[in-house]
Amino acid sequence: MAFLQGKVSWATVALTASTGKSVGGMKAATNQVVKVLEFRATHDGNTSGNAPDVTDLYRVTYATNAPGTNSTSYTVGKKDPGRAETVQTSAGITWTAEPTVITVDESYNLPQYNKLCCAA
Q: Is 35 exposed, middle or buried (0-12, 13-18, 19+ CB in 10 A)?
A: exposed
The angle subtended at Cα 100 by Cα 103 and Cα 70, nearest 5°, is: 130
Report which of 15, 116, 22 is spatially closest to residue 69, judged by C-alpha positions: 22
Q: Are 99 and 65 in contact (CB under 8 A)?
A: yes
pTM of the model: 0.76
Distance in angstroms (rounded) separating the CA atoms of residues 76 and 6: 6
Give residue limits of the domains in the chain: 25-77+84-120
* pLDDT tens per residue across span 5-44: 888 887 777 777 777 888 888 998 888 888 888 888 777 7
pLDDT of residue 49: 74
